């Protein structure tokens, strides 16, 4: 059974209000972290150095989100298409993620951050999967910020798996095809337990979503920055918060 529209499912979350109505702080910010390789190459460094600096930027981003009162932060950490990269780069990325889960988890926990994973974590090695499971379990009851890592994630694949779940329910006679609506699809996406993003940010100057949260971003505000991800810090986070605060979200309605 559908849990109802997102607006009612998450209506208990208090947010700062804009003058004249509307939220001045996005409840959910989603980030496409792009530019690690270009950052490294511009400095004559190996790509792994860019990923390490990018991981430091993630820490700053999480702290900034907490300070600004953001409740949900989703990071496009590894797309389903990233498996096309070299085995060396994939190894660097997974080793770095495993390192930060081992050595930075306590800091996240102390900040009240809940860590969760969407995508296909089963495609990674058992050591990383174990670290992810441990991190999710340790932070399960934290409520300050929900940090979602999209790992081996693709927006189209998410919609496909949702369609398959509903097809099984139709085949079993639990629902009819005519009863399927948007709320029902919401409930079988991997993001069913969090609100849709209010703001999607991409760094590095690219202006596309690259298969990230396609269904969920239907009415998100989009911000594309020229800054490369390793240079994304507190000032840049504050900048996108300021840009969001002056946006007028109409959700298809006429301007007031």
Annotated binding site for substrate: 35-39, 51, 79-81, 83, 85, 202, 208-210
Q: Give CA separation, 39 vs 29, 85, 238, in Å.
A: 23, 17, 21
Give dist(CA 9, CA 13) in Å, integer.
10
Spatial separation of the C-alpha atoms in residues 141 and 48, rounded to whole Å: 33
Residue with tokens 């529209």: 5
Least Cα distance to 136 among 115, 109, 151, 161 occurs for 115
Binding-site residue numbers for Mg(2+) are 34, 221
CA distance 195 to 226: 27
CA angle 48, 67, 102 (to 5 degrees): 40
In DSSP terms, 119 is beta-bridged to 151
78-96 as b/e: b if 16+ CB within 10 A: bbbebeebeeebeebbbee
Please say if 82 is a catalytic residue.
yes
Measured distance CA(200)–CA(222) in Å, rounded: 5
Where do the DSSP E strands lie in the chain?
28-32, 72-79, 113-119, 145-153, 199-202, 221-224
Nearest alpha-carbon partner for 134 in 98, 80, 90, 92: 98
Strands 72-79 and 113-119: unpaired
Out of 23, 82, 142, 211, which one is annotated catalytic? 82
181 catalytically annotated: no
Q: Which residues are catalytic?
A: 34, 82
């Amino acid at each position: 059974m559908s849990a109802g529209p997102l607006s009612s499912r998450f209506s208990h979350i208090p947010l700062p209000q804009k003058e004249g109505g509307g939220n001045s702080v996005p409840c959910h910010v989603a980030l496409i972290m792009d530019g690690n390789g270009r950052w490294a190459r511009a400095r004559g460094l190996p790509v792994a150095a860019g990923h390490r600096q990018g991981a430091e930027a993630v820490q700053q981003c999480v702290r900034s989100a907490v300070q600004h009162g953001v409740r949900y932060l989703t990071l496009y950490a590894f797309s389903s298409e990233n498996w096309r990269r070299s085995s060396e780069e994939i190894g660097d990325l997974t080793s770095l993620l495993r390192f930060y889960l081992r050595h930075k988890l306590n800091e996240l926990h102390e900040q009240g951050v809940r860590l969760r994973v969407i995508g296909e974590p089963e495609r990674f090695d058992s050591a990383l999967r174990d670290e992810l499971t441990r991190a999710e379990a340790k932070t399960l009851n934290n409520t300050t910020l929900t940090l979602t890592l999209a790992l081996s994630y693709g927006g189209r694949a998410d919609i496909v798996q949702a369609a398959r779940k509903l097809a099984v329910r139709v085949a079993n006679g639990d629902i009819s095809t005519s009863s399927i609506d948007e709320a029902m699809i919401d409930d079988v996406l991997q993001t069913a337990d969090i609100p849709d993003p209010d703001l999607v940010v991409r760094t590095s100057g690219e202006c596309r979503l690259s298969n990230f949260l396609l269904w969920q971003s239907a009415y998100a505000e989009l911000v594309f920055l020229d800054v490369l991800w390793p240079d994304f810090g507190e000032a840049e986070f504050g900048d996108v918060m300021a840009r969001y605060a002056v946006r007028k979200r109409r959700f298809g309605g006429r301007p007031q």
